Amino acid sequence: MGLSVTVGDLAQLIASGELDADVLQEIRAEYDALSAMLVEQGLGPHIEPEQLDEWPYRGQTLGFPYSSIHYLRRARAYQRAGLELVPAESDAADDPILQGEYARPLSSSHLICHADDQGFYVPKDFFTLHEAARQSIAQKAAITFG
């Protein structure tokens, strides 16, 4: 199994001309549901583009080993910590900076805390969502134990 990270998925699928109308409608419905959930959480909509400007060719990557996700997450963890990214000395999943991110009860990094086997990564700041969740948990605890 490999890892694929894509940008402009919907636009690429439409441009390929290989989708029938029913499948395209299902895919649009998934993006609409994603956007509605984000709006419901106060994060603003995600509008997936259906057409993209042509990008310069920079070579083609056919995929990465599935374990590569940990290197991407490790890079994000270092960025969040304000640290210079240095080559991993061992398995990126065991990196102490990344492990620190995993240990946080509600990480605000979507890339780090998102399940990596399905779904979407969207360019949103999830702090608002997690702060709302913290407040909700605190309110429920006060009601339950108050």
What's the pLDDT tens digit per position in 31-73?
899 889 888 878 889 888 899 888 777 766 666 777 788 888 8
| 65/30: higher pLDDT | 30
Q: Give tens-digit pLDDT for 82-128.
A: 999 988 888 888 899 999 888 876 666 777 877 666 667 676 665 54
State the Cα–Cα distance between residues 99 and 88, nearest whole angstrom: 13
pTM of the full structure: 0.54
Q: Which letter does DSSP use for residue 94 in this model?
A: G
Give the pLDDT confidence score for residue 83 in this predicted structure: 94
**Structure token digits, residue 8:** 């402009």
> Does residue 133 register a pLDDT over 80?
no
State the Cα–Cα distance between residues 12 and 8, nearest whole angstrom: 6
Instruction: Note down the domain range covering 112.
Output: 2-145
Query: How many domains in the chain?
Result: 1
Reference 97, options 132, 130, 89, 25; nearest CA is 89
- The b/e string for 52-70 (b: 16+ C-beta within 10 A; e otherwise) is eeeeeeeeeeeeeeeeebb
